[in-house]
Chains A and B, each alone.
Chain A
Amino acid sequence: MPIIYRKYEPPQTARDLTAIRRLISQDLSEPYGIYVYRYFIYQWPHLCFLALDTGDNLVGVVVCKLASHRGVKLRGYIAMLAVATAYRGRGIATKLVRLAIDCMIEDGADEIVLETEVDNESAIRLYERMGFIRSKRMHRYYMNASDAFRLVLPVKVESDREVGPSSGAGDMYI
């Protein structure tokens, strides 16, 4: 069954957002509030990619942001990634992450980062196949008390671009 990939389209906000939230909530130990989804998706709609089946049902999603990090680099951040259980193992997550990374690199990202549970072997494997490495371990990072790895993918040696002041967003993960 073919999968259609597309960017999040703002005019379809309500419907997409509800579907995205429902899909991601299934995988979280504790759900995010609507404001978290709005924070990411409304500010960086072009960094949100959807995977849909032929019936236009959402089966996968990746949500990202791209912002200045401490005024020295442009950091892409993969905030959420989820694929419906029935559609797993078909490379949908890899495709979504690649679409997002390509887009963030095109927008000038110096590095891409994310956090994942230390026991989430499939997620770690997915990202490490793309070149991500574990930069640090964070003790009891998640609400279910499990540790996290910070994964980093350096995509450029250094940037000579001017970047704006840090939004501060994302610093909370440091």
Chain B
Amino acid sequence: MSTLEANGASPISNYATASDPTNVQRLGTGPSNIPIPPVAPNYVDITDVFAKEAQKIRPGELAMLETFELVNAINALEIMDLKMDTGLLDMLSRDKEFDTKANRAARQVLWVMDELFAMEMSWHTGGALSQTVFTCLYIEQALKNFNGCVSSAHFGDESNEVPISSDEDLESVFVHVVLREFVLGIIKTCDLSRRRLQCNEIMEDEDIVTQTYSLDLMQFVPVSKICSGLTDAINKMKRLKTESEKQHVHDQETADLLGCIDGFIVRLELRILAIKALDSVDDAPEKQIELLTGTGDLIRRVVSTNSLAEPLPVAFSIAIQGRLECGMPPRPKVEMSFGDAIATLERLINGIRDVLRIHDYGSLGDITTYFEEFAMRRPTELPYVRCQLFKRFFVHRKIFGKFLMRDAVIADITDLCCPSPALFAIDESHPCRQALDLFLTRAEVCFENLFSIMCHNRARLRQRLCGAIMDWDSLQVDSEHLESSVEMLEFSPLLPTDQRSSDEGIRALPLSSWVYFRKLQIMIWIVFMGFELDIYRLEEWPLMLWYGDYILGVMDSHVARIETILEITAAMRQDSTTHYTKSRKSKKNKGAKSISAMPASGALPPSQESIMRTRMWLAGLRSQIGVYKELCHGYMCFMAALVLAGCVRSFTASPVDPSKEEYTTPELLYKLRMKPFSTIGVPEVPSFETYQRLSDLRDWQIDSLLDNAQITVNNARNMTDVWSKLKPEQQINTKLVQESSAKMRRSLTRSCVGTNVAISVLRQMNLQHRSFVEENKLKISVLRDNFHPFFPVLSVSTRK
């Protein structure tokens, strides 16, 4: 797009398949194949009526049904316009001149195989089949001839028999054996991937296009048949190689031929492995790992023989779109270089391998952390990998096909709040049993949804979180209602806080605490993913950092509260029951406030192991919150300095040029930005006036703001260092995410370092003199690569 003043390109997902099969010629069916309706229609010639009625319409008047909408307008076919009519494209194409039966040199066959592989990878990254795999004329011919039987999927035309020539005709064998088996292998891998990709976690058109335009990707052909054909082709090539080697001819031509044959063998072997791996996606992880491990060497050998390939671009054409059941206007082939295709394949394999690690979980709580880390990866995992994670995790409505989602909810509540194990073991006769069940059922839905959301692409993920927050808010109301009932108080006894304090004590309320924690975490993700996805313009940064800091503060207090309760519980557990009972009686006699300091009968204290686990989790959380908060402060001070210097406009100032008419106000924009959070009860969104008051910079100086920025960013860095130096045994969830957590902490350190550099640069510019600003010499840009996604770094430089 070279547009300067236009909204942009055409929106995707607006073109659907033509519903009328008579509009387009389907592959394998000529006009003569259009089925005849069982009852002959009674046609009436309306030409005259139509012409007469059309006369009544003035130019510019639109005749349409009330139900005609934009989507219909976009999907409407416009014939006889080369840019819009794929049928016309087909008519004008020279595809018919390409003979799929013709013999081809080994080098050309090698190129077609690699190009087809690149098209497959291009499809995996979002290109439609009509723009990728289906652009190959060999694929078209094989699918056109396919009648349900593998042998029918050949490169000859329908009227002829399979034109496989004798073995002496090498070039025929390369096409009709090697390439054909490879083509069938590609069709099968696409079929297996496509079936897997049809899930809620992957957005059709947005992540992947599974549309096949009514073509059968040999869905019912067994994998064994395809693999058997591939194996036969491999054996044939191996024999051929042996025979050629026996002839002891050492010229370049023979060497190249042998190189190509090697290339064929390795590509066919890799295809078998790919089919087997895709076919066994639900099998034991060990089997998958074994298959995937074998790909490494094959990929290296494929790469090493690619240089022998000789391009045969006429074997690919977009005119095929005119022969598909497809209502889209012509679209270009989605090119991908061989190097990029190999890199994509490696990403795919590594992603699948990594997903298999979830089976090594220590506890269900580990998996929650794995999903969070998985969602944060840069670049985002490929659609197939994201889909694979959820499908591996949630099998037949159960986690790994074994545990109920309820188990994960309970594990998560236990990890965070360490409640009495009796809470989830109350018997049928307990008055709260039904209400607790109902709560857990609702929590299961919210929790499952959260796992599913984590598998979406980042933009969609943020959008879905904005919806999920309301469900969690509603769940919080339920949990608070449940835990406020007298019968449930036995699981949240009043615990003593500080004896000297006038507080009445503190109740654990583990269910509400857990829901609130998860809700706050979602809010934090929504706020900071806005930075990651570049949703905030620069003048909004101070506002969103301020709001992020506010939510982090609420979260910190909440986690601190859970920590306090945990330590009281741990202290109580450490003391002997007898001692505690005595103490309790004594306090009771004295009318002390810790009336229910001991768990009531039935409410067993948590195990020492549970307490340790929660302690580690909370410590990790507080480290993370602490670093985020310090970074927020540092960024806020830095941004405030830029605002004060006039380099960045204040959000509370007029949004437009004062000389122009204003369409909106800062308050309206504030409300719009806070919209995802305005519907929830707690924590309440601060009023615009509050923000306006707190963001007043009149009493600040640029230098003192930069001093503060530097101090807090340094604090953040030091805190990250301390966090990073925790020994594995001091951290929870080490097994699954240790490496990626360390990577994330390194990116946080880089954000600290990067911002520190920017602060220093700004300080050296001596902005108090404002000469840079007045002369518009300052350039501020956002750097994202290698920095923490939530904390991109601002770079300040002077314009030349």
Contacts and interface: CB of A to CB of B under 8 A. Distances in A.
Interface string B126-162: 1100000000000000000000000000000000000
B206 A123 contact: no
B343 to A, nearest CB: 17
Interface string B61-82: 1100000111111101110000
A146 interface: yes
A81 B11 CA distance: 14
B83 interface: yes
Interface in A121-136: 122-123, 126, 128-131, 133-136
A1 interface: no
B60 A45 contact: yes
B556 to A, nearest CB: 28
Interface string A74-117: 00001111110100110011000010011001000000101111
A169 B59 contact: no
A82 B329 contact: no
Given A123-B3, A155-B663, A139 B9 contact: no
Contacts of A156: 668
A115 B661 CA distance: 23
Contact of A81 (B7, B10, B13): B7
- Which one of A92, A133, A144, A172 has the highest number of Cβ atoms from chain B below 10 Å of its Cβ? A133
Interface string A50-85: 000000000010000000000000000011111101
B11 A148 contact: yes
Contacts of B73: 33, 35-36, 38-39
B5 interface: yes
B663 A101 contact: yes
Given A31-B84, A36-B74, A140 B62 contact: no
B468 interface: no
B40 to A, nearest CB: 32
A157 to B, nearest CB: 7
A172 B14 contact: yes
A122 B68 CA distance: 33
Contacts of B83: 25, 31
A13 B60 contact: yes
Given A83-B4, A135-B672, A137-B459, A33 B62 contact: no
A55 to B, nearest CB: 21
B6 A81 contact: yes
Contact of B10 (A10, A30, A89, A170): A30
Contacts of B522: none
Contacts of B9: 28-30, 117, 142-144, 146
B483 interface: no
A47 interface: no
A116 B462 CA distance: 19
Contact of A136 (B206, B329, B459): B459
Interface stretch (B533-541, B573-581, B630-638, B786-794): B533-541
B656 A130 contact: yes
B656 A123 contact: no
Report whether over half of chain B's contact residues are helix, strand or loop; otherwise say mixed: loop
B503 interface: no
Contacts of A122: 4-5
Contacts of A2: none
A78 B459 contact: no
Contact of A128 (B62, B537, B661, B672): B537
B8 A148 contact: yes
Nearest to A167: B69
A120 B655 CA distance: 20
A172 B463 contact: no
B331 interface: yes
B11 A42 contact: no
Nearest to B78: A33
A10 B5 contact: no
Contact of B8 (A10, A142, A169): A142
Interface string B196-210: 000000010111000
A24 B663 contact: no
Given A129-B656, A152-B672, A32 B10 contact: yes
A168 B109 CA distance: 51
Contact of A138 (B76, B459, B663, B673): B459
Given A115-B8, A142-B11, A13 B59 contact: yes
* Listed residue (B61, B70, B331, B671) with the most chain A CB atoms within 10 angstroms of its CB: B70
A3 interface: no
B672 to A, nearest CB: 5
A112 B672 CA distance: 13
B76 A133 contact: no
A154 B4 CA distance: 25
A133 B537 CA distance: 8
Given A141-B11, A169-B69, A131 B3 contact: no
A109 to B, nearest CB: 10
Pick from B5, B72, B83, B660 the residue with the most CB of A within 10 Å: B5
B36 interface: no
Nearest to B664: A131
Contacts of B60: 10-11, 13, 42, 45
Interface string A143-164: 1111111001111110000000
B39 interface: no
B243 interface: no
B69 A168 contact: yes
A42 B62 contact: yes
Given A131-B656, A143-B10, A155-B663, A34 B535 contact: no
B507 interface: no
Contacts of A29: 1, 9-10
Nearest to A174: B463
A99 to B, nearest CB: 12
Given A10-B60, A147-B459, A136 B5 contact: no
Contact of B76 (A35, A140, A152, A170): A35
Contacts of B329: 30-31, 33
Contacts of A128: 537
Nearest to B669: A133
Contact of A139 (B11, B62, B457): B457
B113 to A, nearest CB: 25
Chain B CB count within 10 A is highest, among A30, A101, A135, for: A30
B20 interface: no
Given A133-B537, A155-B664, A27 B1 contact: yes
Contacts of A45: 60
A49 to B, nearest CB: 14
A118 interface: yes
Contact of A154 (B127, B540, B671): B671
A18 interface: no
Interface in B113-130: 126-127
Contacts of B78: 33-35
A162 to B, nearest CB: 19
Nearest to A90: B5
A74 to B, nearest CB: 14
Contact of B534 (A39, A135, A137, A153): A137
B479 to A, nearest CB: 29
A147 B463 CA distance: 14
A80 B663 contact: no
Contacts of B673: 133
A13 B462 CA distance: 43
Given A34-B78, A36-B74, 4 more contacts: A123-B8, A135-B672, A138-B206, A154-B671
19 contacts: A28-B9, A30-B331, A35-B76, A82-B6, A88-B4, A92-B5, A98-B660, A102-B661, A122-B4, A123-B3, A137-B459, A137-B533, A138-B459, A139-B459, A143-B12, A144-B9, A155-B668, A157-B671, A172-B14
The 4 tightest CB contacts between A and B, nearest first, are: A42-B62, A29-B9, A117-B8, A13-B60
Interface of A: 10-11, 13-14, 24-25, 27-36, 38-39, 42-43, 45, 60, 78-83, 85, 88-89, 92-93, 98, 101-102, 105, 112, 114-120, 122-123, 126, 128-131, 133-149, 152-157, 167-170, 172-173
